[in-house]
Amino acid sequence: MSDALIVLVVLASGTFLLKSAGPLLLGERRLPNAVQTVVDLLPAALLASLAAVSTPGDGRTLVFDARVVGLVVAGVALWRRASFVLVIVLASAATALSRIVM
């Protein structure tokens, strides 16, 4: 068995265990409101931080290119409370158009 396959199996197993731990441990009980609020906001915060860190860089330096245009358009669309699908379409279109122009 290769190292990559072992890593894949371990990560898949860990993901399955983590996802099943909540329903198994909580049963029918609900999380407290404060915890549920954090859980609801966490995916958006993680995605935003990932986009903010990975978009304007190439590993060692800051690069402001078409990706930044798409990120700004997505931010404005989210600020205007657009749906998630519309945000993705607008950001993709802005990035593609700016790559064509540049």
What would the two tokens of residue 42 be? 């966490």
Give the residue numbers spanning the domain of 71: 33-101
- Considering the domain architecture, whether residues 13 and 57 belong to the same structural domain is answered as no
pTM: 0.53
Percent of the chain with pLDDT over 70: 99
Q: How many domains does the chain have?
A: 2
Phi, psi of 62 (to 5 degrees): -80, 135
- Considering the domain architecture, whether residues 52 and 66 belong to the same structural domain is answered as yes
- Considering the domain architecture, whether residues 48 and 26 belong to the same structural domain is answered as no
Q: pLDDT for 59-78, tens place per residue? A: 777 778 888 899 899 999 99
Residue 102: its pLDDT value, please? 79
Residue 51: its pLDDT value, please? 76
Percent of the chain with pLDDT over 90: 50
- Considering the domain architecture, whether residues 97 and 72 belong to the same structural domain is answered as yes
- Considering the domain architecture, whether residues 20 and 64 belong to the same structural domain is answered as no
Q: pLDDT for 76-92, tens place per residue? A: 999 999 999 999 999 99
